[in-house]
Amino acid sequence: MTGKTEQAPTRQKHGLELLHDPRLNKGTAFTERERDILGLHGLLPGAYETMEQQLARALEHFEAKQEDLERYIYMTALSGTNETLFFRLLREHIERLMPIVYTPTVGQACQQYGHIFRRTRGMYVSIRHKGRVREILDNWPESDVRVAVVTDGERILGLGDLGTNGMGIPIGKLCLYTACAGIAPSKTLPVTFDTGTGNDELMHDTLYLGIREPRIRGAAYDELIEEFVAAANDKWPGILIQFEDFAKQNSFRLLNHFRDRICTFNDDIQGTASVTLAGIFSALRITGGRIEDQRILFLGAGGAAIGIGDLVVSDVMKTGVAQEAARRNCWFVDSHGLVEKSREGLDGHKLRFAHDMPPLPDLMSAIRAMKPTILIGVSGQGGAFTQEMIAEMAAINERPIVLALSNPTSAAECTAEQAYRWSDGRAVYASGSPFDPVEVNGTTLVPGQGNNVYIFPGLGLGVISIRARHVTDAMFAAAARTLADIVSEEDLAKGRIFPPLTDINEISLAIAVAVAEVAFESGLATVPRPADLKAFIEAEMYVPEYRIQVD
């Protein structure tokens, strides 16, 4: 894959100043001539190493760590000393390292963030900055930021309110934008809104890094977000802003408020929907069914679940089914039982999926009554899919589709081994976190991981490459179709409904092209259409290679 490295700064750094700049530092890979001209002799060991030698040492250090949190800390330290080496290591060992730099280990890292903090990364926009956010953003040194991932830390994975400790999420997401889709690190910005916390344990943690106040709600909160969006678009016009891990009372509301005004999306809602839809498309290649004929039962009715339902409905409608009929393909169970019309006090986002049906108290009764072909878990309740439930799904369907998508691993509704063994090896299974292959009845089944990383990096690449004005549901549907089409027959034969992560750069490029095509067709692109769209996007992709720093 072709691409480009980061551009050199306007002023050449020398000596220790150069070695202390993670974006420019090459460590022992500086050549003799570079050491001569840049004042590096005596500051480095005498060996002249290749990047491959450095990668071998870095991987050795990584594997020597005893726990995953220690590995996370090591990778964080590496990114702070040699950014190019960090991204090369992550890119070449993505299957091994992604669970460390992102889910599931990032959840533990966020819980401990104040205790493992080493150096600042990203920006903290505090409620105390209200009225001067544009001034605060001017402290960020990069002039061409294209994508920001923002969180207020209130609903980090399935772990709840972690306040500013949630900064680990935007940082991790943007690492994947770079490693998986070649978006240059200088063009990314992690942001955490510090609006207080409702977590009493953090409030009393002497090493907590956020403001020690109850969470700000209402007008003051909305005004801060509004001010940031305006300031970011003023400083970096057309910036893509990805909302991440906001609580349900804010996630849909903020998405609906901004989606037609700026270039934005919510990955928990739309990214999860897209990767899940891709998984359904792939699974139907195994079961042989059509999406318009499926009965999908969700455990959970929050932003992620409703987002999946909305995208499924839009796809079913393309087959000629009316909207209300398409919605009846999707049924939801929350903590109070089945979402149905007679229930009072339903949240607004649930109302459109509240169908005529007698009340049902729990998931098991819903499975028996609805006889779903697909069971999707987005509840954050580890172990919520019991043996009785999976056995019932297998009794209803020859090949039941079971997607246990909650993160981190401990929150998965069931493990791969449970789904396969409880269904006698007939379940088509995927999860949000990785699980090892399972041998059942002499056959090795490989569970897919329905991770949003298959979608958001490629979508982001496509959006920023052609400077799209907005992000639309049609783009997420196109991304889902593209991802599903990439899954090989060999993978499907193993029960795997997502392609190997080792192909993620090619996957992201394909999704970027599909998304850009939608933008051009919809009149949302703001650059002239290139003759070769794929080559145009690929040429913009960052490749983690050392550049020559002297002529």
Evaluate if residue 8 carries a pLDDT over 80: no
pLDDT over 60 (residue 2)? no
Per CATH, 50-262 and 269-551 having the same topology is answered yes
Average pLDDT for 274-299: 97
pLDDT digits (tens, 9 = 90+) for 204-221: 999 999 999 999 999 999
What distance in Å separates the CA atoms of residue 479 and residue 535, rounded to the nearest whole number? 18
User: pLDDT by residue (tens digit) across 485-534?
Assistant: 999 999 999 999 999 999 999 999 999 999 999 999 999 999 999 999 99
Instruction: Please name the residues in contact with 305: beta carbons below 8 A apart, sequence gap of 6 or more.
Output: 298, 332, 376, 378
Evaluate whether 185 touches 178 at the Cβ level (below 8 Å). yes
Confidence of residue 409 (pLDDT cuts 50, 70, 90): confident
Task: Please report the pLDDT score of residue 352 as a whole number.
Answer: 92
H or E segment to which residue 249 belongs: helix 248-258
Q: Answer yes or no: pTM beyond 0.85.
A: yes
Q: Which residues contact 521 (CB under 8 A, 6 or more apart)?
A: none
127, 219, 229, 257 from 222: Cα distances, Å: 10, 5, 11, 10
Check if the beta carbon of residue 411 is closer than 8 Å to that of residue 427: no
Query: Is the model's pLDDT at 29 over the cut of 90?
Result: yes
Average of pLDDT values for 43-60?
A: 98
Cα–Cα dist 142/60, whole Å: 33
Per the structure block, which two tokens stand in for 165? Answer: 């400790």
Could you tell me which of 395, 397, 379 has the C-alpha nearest to residue 387?
395
Percentage of the chain beyond pLDDT 70 is 98
- The answer, yes or no, to whether residue 9 has pLDDT greater than 90, is no
Tens digits of residue pLDDT in 171-201: 999 999 999 999 999 999 999 999 999 999 9
Task: Summarize pLDDT for 69-91 with one digit per residue, the tens.
Answer: 999 999 999 999 999 999 999 99
Give tens-digit pLDDT for 99-157. Answer: 999 988 999 999 999 999 999 999 999 999 999 999 999 999 999 999 999 999 999 98
CA distances from 324 to 35, 316, 318, 327 (A): 69, 11, 13, 5
Number of other residues whose CB lies within 10 A of the CB of residue 444: 10
- Residue 412 is which amino acid? A
Rounded-to-integer distance, Cα 547 and Cα 200, Å? 48
Q: Which residues of 159-188 are buried (b: 16+ CB within 10 A; e: fewer)?
A: bebbbbbbbbbbbbbbbbbbbbbbbbbbbb
Spans of all domains in the chain: 50-262, 269-551
- Residue among 404, 400, 455 nearest 434 (CA): 404
The first and second tokens of residue 297, run together, are 């039962």
Q: Tell which CATH architecture fits domain 50-262.
A: 3-Layer(aba) Sandwich (3.40)
pLDDT tens digits, residue range 368-403?
999 999 999 999 899 999 999 999 999 999 999 999
Q: Calculate what percentage of the chain has a pLDDT beyond 90.
A: 92
Average pLDDT, the chain: 95
Query: If residue 194 lies in a helix (H) or strand (E), which one and from where to where?
Result: strand 188-194
In angstroms, the Cα distances linking 486 to 95, 275, 419, 439, 455 are 18, 13, 25, 25, 13
Taking residues 294-310, what's their average pLDDT?
A: 95
Question: For the segment 433-443, what is each residue's pLDDT rounded down to a tens digit?
Answer: 889 999 999 99
Cα distances from 272 to residues 52, 267, 526, 533, in angstroms, run: 35, 6, 27, 26
Taking every pair of C-alpha atoms in the chain, what is the biggest distance, in angstroms? 80
Dist CA 241 CA 234 (whole Å): 13
| Spatial separation of the C-alpha atoms in residues 481 and 284, rounded to whole Å | 12
C-alpha 406: how far from chain center: 13
Task: Identify the residue whose tokens are 């903290």.
Answer: 124
Catalytic residue numbers read 102, 173
Confidence of residue 10 (pLDDT cuts 50, 70, 90): low
- pLDDT for res 7: 59
CB 97 within 8 A of CB 90: yes
Q: How far apart are CA 246 and CA 257, in angstroms?
A: 14
CATH 2.60.40.10, domain 269-551, yes or no: no
